[in-house]
Chains A and B, each alone.
Chain A
Amino acid sequence: MLSYLAQQSINALQLGSIYALIALGYSMVYGVLTMINFAHGDLFMLGAFACMILATLLPVHLPFVIILLLVMVLVGLLGTAIERFAYRPLRGGPRVSAIITALGCGLLIESLTLVKFPYAQSMPPLFNNTIHPFLGLTISTLQILIIGVAITLMIALDFLIRKTAYGIAMRAISFDARIVPLMGVPVNRVISMTFFIGAGLGGAAGMLYGMAYPVIAPLMGVLVGWKAFVAAVIGGIGSIRGAVLGGFILGAVEVMTVVFLPSTYRDLISYSLLLLILIFKPFGILGSPPNQKV
């Protein structure tokens, strides 16, 4: 039983890493624009599809890392384009309009993909997946890769945010977007970069997810997108570390409930637990109440 639990923990870690990556993309955009990018889940889906296309349609067999980078760049560029043409025009207006536009963009991406790929596709394996024994459990190369890539990306992002000029600018904008331009910060460029990186992370997550669960479909981003939003909020909206924490919690809850209960109860238990967390920590685990000067 213990070894079964431990084995499932590895699965939880894998799923959690992927959720954390997506939640990060959400939180980054939220921190900078206070906007919920509902198209994010569909960028995740595009990451998986981009990977599949690159792996099957290209005459050359590219190594994993190259495909990952290509996917991240492609999806990142798309994310930037969406921001530029669909969100930026609405920046001064009511927040909700941008959110609904994001929803619309997401639907557009889904429907275009559905037109091209009406049926689910299978993700070809990118390398030979071997199983390794590890402390009495088994872990596959794929799992190591997924967890490893996810954690690497998160560390890289953390470094980016805390140590680079871009990261500081990004955090400054999340505090007060109006005065930052007065300090010579190119706000539009920083926001574009934020979307590029956020979308890139989402695309990477999609690719990893597709590799872990190799049947991909155009609507796979819908539910995952909402879950990532939940994860970001549970951790505390706008908090990068919170997003990571939320992602891992969500992954753990989802995998672990199936361990103890029939799989049909998964959503019921996970969301009830999440609800409980929000009741006791109304601003997320690492979030803080909005500063209200009365």
Chain B
Amino acid sequence: MNSLLEIANLSKRFGGICATANCNLRVAESSAHGIIGPNGAGKTTLFNLITGIYQPTEGTIRFRDQSIAGLRPNHIASLGIGRTFQNIRLCKSLTVLDNVRIAFDSQLDYSPLHALFRLPRSKQQEALSIEQSMLLLQPFGLAPHADQPAGSLPYGSQRKLEIARALALRPKLLLLDEPAAGMNSGETSELTDFLTQIRTEFKVTLLLIEHHIELVMKLCDRITVLDFGQTIADDTPEGIRANPRVIEAYLGVPEDDQ
């Protein structure tokens, strides 16, 4: 079976700094794939490369058998890749509903002329936008807050809104950048169940960066470990747990072994 996402020999250099080096990754369709690694390992850079915010220096990225390296971010989004951001990037002064509607807009089909004269087509599409976006807010418990400015939501709700927004793209692949950041263990386990639910209900493949190891171990079918921009391991959770290189990357090597 062909992977949904295939990354081969991916490298990204910023001047002298090599943020990503010879990264290899295969994400199977309908799976949940985790990416872990120490800080600065190049995980978010990888996401930025996949979503077109950075252009790779070398290597290939293939999504559904199509090369997406070098495409613009909005094109990649319309191909079916949605994402959230490590530091929440919502439109803070816009309403919760509008944030989702913006992501849903690429699925609306009408021209500026329709908009200009408020022709029935545009009115119908706009009503669809409001209706579908509200539907997306409901499983996240955000529907009652639809008309509040997104910036006024508590942190956890903002994170949920980011996920709802990404789902408005009807993506095949959902990139989550540290979705459990700042959560305690109770909230994290809630999130784990929630993400499992999303995976089945919305039929998305999940690719997530996380530092909460329990979440990753519980949720993911496969885990890739990055360090210094390179893939140092790619295995099932059990395999990763026992992998000496991974342990070394996180904890270092015992002094007497050096």
Partner-B contacts on A (CB < 8 A): 293-294
Partner-A contacts on B (CB < 8 A): 44, 48, 53, 85-87
Give complex CA distance A294, B86 in Å.
Answer: 8
Give complex CA distance A294, B88 in Å.
Answer: 9
Interface of A is mostly: loop
Interface of B is mostly: loop
Give complex CA distance A144, B202 in Å.
Answer: 75
Query: In the complex, what residue of chain A is closest to B89 when comparing beta carbons?
Result: A294
Give complex CA distance A293, B87 in Å.
Answer: 8
Give complex CA distance A132, B85 in Å.
Answer: 66
Give complex CA distance A293, B14 in Å.
Answer: 14
Give complex CA distance A100, B45 in Å.
Answer: 39
Give complex CA distance A294, B87 in Å.
Answer: 7
Give complex CA distance A294, B45 in Å.
Answer: 9
Query: In the complex, what residue of chain A is closest to B87 when comparing beta carbons?
Result: A293
Shortest beta-carbon distance, A128 to chain B, in Å?
A: 56
**Residues of the B chain whose Cβ atoms lie less than 8 Å from the Cβ of A294:** 44, 48, 53, 85
Give complex CA distance A266, B86 in Å.
Answer: 50
Give complex CA distance A200, B48 in Å.
Answer: 46
**Residues of the A chain whose Cβ atoms lie less than 8 Å from the Cβ of B85:** 294
Query: In the complex, what residue of chain A is closest to B85 when comparing beta carbons?
Result: A294
**Residues of the B chain whose Cβ atoms lie less than 8 Å from the Cβ of A293:** 86-87
**Residues of the A chain whose Cβ atoms lie less than 8 Å from the Cβ of B48:** 294
Give complex CA distance A294, B43 in Å.
Answer: 12
**Residues of the A chain whose Cβ atoms lie less than 8 Å from the Cβ of B87:** 293
Shortest beta-carbon distance, A178 to chain B, in Å?
A: 16
Shortest beta-carbon distance, A169 to chain B, in Å?
A: 28
Query: In the complex, what residue of chain A is closest to B48 when comparing beta carbons?
Result: A294
Subset of 6 A-B contacts with CB under 8 Å:
A293-B86, A293-B87, A294-B44, A294-B48, A294-B53, A294-B85
Shortest beta-carbon distance, A94 to chain B, in Å?
A: 10
Shortest beta-carbon distance, A173 to chain B, in Å?
A: 22
Query: In the complex, what residue of chain A is closest to B44 when comparing beta carbons?
Result: A294
Query: In the complex, what residue of chain A is closest to B177 when comparing beta carbons?
Result: A294
Shortest beta-carbon distance, B209 to chain A, in Å?
A: 13
Query: In the complex, what residue of chain B is closest to A293 when comparing beta carbons?
Result: B87
Give complex CA distance A293, B53 in Å.
Answer: 12
